[in-house]
Amino acid sequence: MALRLGDKVPDFTQESTEGPIQFYDWAGDSWVVLFSHPKDFTPVCTTELGEVAKLKPEFAKRNVKVIALSVDDVDSHKGWAQDIEETQGAALNFPVLADADRKVSDLYDMIHPSANDTLTVRSVFVIDPNQKLRLTLTYPASTGRNFDELLRVIDSLQLTDNYSVATPANWQDGEDCVIVPSLKDEAVLKEKFPKGYTVVKPYLRMTPQPNK
């Protein structure tokens, strides 16, 4: 069954480039970005793994661990890692799961038979510290993933988990936010949003980002 937003993601134990990983234990109290690749030594995925290695400090600032998956074995992954460092100028600094038995691919519904009945699709899962699925994206093989967008979404999720706001279209960290429609009491609004807010429409109220 496909995972849906809000579902608790499955636990698993699987080999990786950094040794066996028991997923819940490895994740601990961090957010996690799990992203899959159809196989090793593929061109678009090579650029993606290099980009994530470069962005690891940005993920770490947000208490996010990153972990990749490909259906090949650990020895293959380690050979691919050499190519990634050579061509992308960044060494792998996060684990890559070896999923030759398709265990994790099946648990997370990464095999889409209409696209390919043996290889994983290029999926992304953002998982919170309670092991709840908060975002999922699936990309076609021809289109590289936008990891800056994943950082933007994580910024939004972490903000909106802690304040009574949502983030509008194209929002970037530091920009104005939307007050959630369920909040109506004027006294509560003044307490929660001391910087004030602008009423565009009764259902559309903008306020400066509360934690900035």
Catalytic residues: 45
The residue written with tokens 């460092």 in the block is 85
In degrees, rounded to 5, the angle at the alpha carbon of residue 27 between the alpha carbons of residues 69 and 32 is 60
H helices present in 14-162, as ranges:
23-27, 43-61, 74-88, 103-107, 147-162
Tokens, residue 152: 């933007």
Output the furthest CA–CA distance in the chain (Å, rounded).
61
DSSP 3-state of 104: helix
